[in-house]
Structure 1
């Protein structure tokens, strides 16, 4: 992969660099301590040991279950994390938009799974002619027509039929529709039907997810006569990947050697909110564990009334769509670190966090509060540069994101 060495300067949120620009490599080589003056608050950091543990855990999980892994890059859009995932054996990087596919192609990602419908003819013509292997979706005859039209001037597409559910997002809803779309892809001169895809991650319960995955099995069987000898079947967010491997793993399609592709993405950073409570490793604890890697450090700005403190962190810096940040620790002005007992974020404004304080004196103006994040998929996009810290908070890398 080709990872550009960009700069930090006055535009870089969280980094305090009023002087001349410094490359990411030069900044990391200085090995600043997070609390030594090279950063200002708030700032989001990633713990290296947690990231490395999580990358290895899912790679090992996929290897044990005979699954290929195409982690969803939209979670991080961070080239160095893509590189780590590919080095650990990832088969592809999954994205959700043509712009994200463009980033991956520019970086030299060898295979991209574009897990969404694309109907923009400008983007489709570009996608059809890339040296990077890009897999695309189709869930309707109209989508197939657009894919086919985009190849008239050259190029081709490897296509996955997308399977969905009522009330969900894109994807065929009935087996009859799936057969019609699969037949249209099969018959188009520059389109190759290579398998079937779905996403179960937004379903509310394990029973709902299981029922949907069972329907995916039936849809796959319905289009089996149109599939190649080794079709792909792909699913898997970060909430039900245990059900995906149990249901879709193995050779259950007569006459075909199935290749299962798992697409979990949020696992790489995990969290202290949504996925802490949803991770499949709670159901299958013997399979592994994930560690929360992201922390947002924010400063206490004011304690204007009993029971309330205001932190300098808000919706621009921390995710809030799937729960509010979780106070973990307090760092005093003298460097002492204490547990964040009795503290709770109860509201976020644009740049203020309302911190409920149970005990008087629990925080003081100038203290730093370490917050766990509630949802990785809306955390990385708030930061163009994310310091990677060792366990002693020495900064050894700066992650650059491209959203």
Structure 2
């Protein structure tokens, strides 16, 4: 088993993905019986084992071919066993987005093999900053986008056993965090370099906050921003603000939507051996690729623009029809508590008649709304004969808000098979 069944322990009603017949059983023993999908409850979200493995391999191969390092965003899954698999496939590190996520990454480093954690935000929590000042085996890099951030960090890192690596974050007007000009970013870098307990270690940014589609206009905005980020890196080098940086200077950008543009513009800086000067690593932080989706990321992924390879949706929803109150309408048992809806509603892909028959494509059914615990389905054509008890497979949009609704996720051998079977359990660590 490659996931978490062996360490989950006894299953019970606290695990909403577990059938009542498995309550009181050890998770590994239950998974070893490979129960069929018909034995699992609804509503349900599952992870496809084969698609996950192929997605990890595809992204690792892309990073090698592009000449960049990969630090996938761990917030997507908050699943240390998946982080371990990404690291084993060659990822340089794992990215996190809150102080709590950072503590999860550090406390699980021994089992995941994590050697570098990239905290893509300003760490201002005094207790966490003091903790980072102690001797550690995992390298941590944090962000700062202003001299005020540096001043807020300074009292809690002074005299640290090891300086804390800081990346200066460049933003853009209308974006999220990040210095709004090269001059402000340069001032921030000077403040970092002059502060006891901090070490200037490179530059960072997030182009995904500036565009939301793959139109030529959006791609131009992204590329312009990445040119500015490269210029900031070159300005800091020319100013001689970096001292000795163990592990190398870092230049990082690249969410899941535009990592091809990041590689195109920033991969030429990648020189981890320092053959052309100071050692520099270009790091992409894409994270959604691991599970991909059938919605937002399916439409915007660079793999659809010829980046090489193909991702597969590894997350699926399964809901049971519980009511046919009027012609053309069905209600199913999944809702906002179970399924993502922030980047588009789920889509109906297939049906299992009676919840047990072979999975078959279904046309003419569409999700029109989600309540807390209900899915509204509009039915036309072939879908009009949908019956109470039928189970639907749903395509989902946005893996980040799918994972955080499930603390234990059944792992299927093949979610697209006629009769999928459970082979493992995945645990997430959402607080």
TM-score by length of 2: 0.88
Residues 139 and 161, structure 1, Cα contact 8 Å, conserved in 2: yes
What residue is the counterpart of 1:262 in the other structure?
Answer: 284
Farther off after superposition, 128-137 or 69-78: 128-137
> Any stretches of 5+ residues in structure 1 without a counterpart?
none
Cα distance in 2, alignment partners of residues 197 and 24 from structure 1: 41
Note the aligned Cα RMSD (angstroms): 2.1
From 278, 283, 287, the counterpart of 2:300? 278
- 2:34 counterpart of 1:31: yes
- 2:265 counterpart of 1:247: yes
What residue is the counterpart of 2:426 in the other structure?
Answer: 399
Farther off after superposition, 26-35 or 344-353: 26-35
Farther off after superposition, 217-226 or 87-96: 217-226
What residue is the counterpart of 1:220 in the other structure?
Answer: 233
Cα distance in 1, alignment partners of residues 259 and 287 from structure 2: 11
Change (3 A) 1:142 1:21: farther
Residues 194 and 227, structure 1, Cα contact 8 Å, conserved in 2: yes
What residue is the counterpart of 2:388 in the other structure?
Answer: 365
Cα distance in 1, alignment partners of residues 224 and 236 from structure 2: 19
User: What do residues 256-301 of structure 1 show as CA deviations (whole Å, max 9, x unaligned)?
Assistant: 443100100000000000001000011115x110000001100001
Change (3 A) 1:215 1:294: same
Q: CA deviation at 1:18?
A: 6.1
What residue is the counterpart of 2:152 in the other structure?
Answer: 146
- 2:21 counterpart of 1:13: no
Residues 96 and 117, structure 2, Cα contact 8 Å, conserved in 1: yes
What residue is the counterpart of 2:100 in the other structure?
Answer: 99
What residue is the counterpart of 1:376 in the other structure?
Answer: 399
Matched residue count = 400
Cα distance in 2, alignment partners of residues 303 and 114 from structure 1: 49
- 2:183 counterpart of 1:176: yes
> Any stretches of 5+ residues in structure 2 without a counterpart?
213-217
Residues 325 and 372, structure 1, Cα contact 8 Å, conserved in 2: yes
Paired residue secondary structure (1:277): helix
What residue is the counterpart of 2:76 in the other structure?
Answer: 75
Change (3 A) 1:197 1:23: farther
From 322, 325, 334, the counterpart of 2:343? 322
Change (3 A) 1:170 1:130: farther
Which structure shows the higher helix fraction?
2
Paired residue secondary structure (1:176): helix
Cα distance in 2, alignment partners of residues 294 and 228 from structure 1: 45
From 208, 211, 215, the counterpart of 2:224? 211
Change (3 A) 1:341 1:144: same
Residues 269 and 282, structure 2, Cα contact 8 Å, conserved in 1: no
Farther off after superposition, 121-130 or 259-268: 121-130
Farther off after superposition, 10-19 or 207-216: 10-19
Cα distance in 2, alignment partners of residues 350 and 33 from structure 1: 27
Change (3 A) 1:2 1:301: closer
Residues 200 and 237, structure 1, Cα contact 8 Å, conserved in 2: yes
TM-score by length of 1: 0.94
Q: CA deviation at 1:130?
A: 5.5
Q: CA deviation at 1:255?
A: 4.6
Cα distance in 2, alignment partners of residues 357 and 153 from structure 1: 66
Change (3 A) 1:19 1:59: closer
Q: CA deviation at 1:19?
A: 6.3
Q: CA deviation at 1:243?
A: 0.2
Paired residue secondary structure (1:361): helix
Paired residue secondary structure (1:355): strand
Q: CA deviation at 1:116?
A: 1.0
- 2:144 counterpart of 1:122: no
What residue is the counterpart of 1:348 in the other structure?
Answer: 370
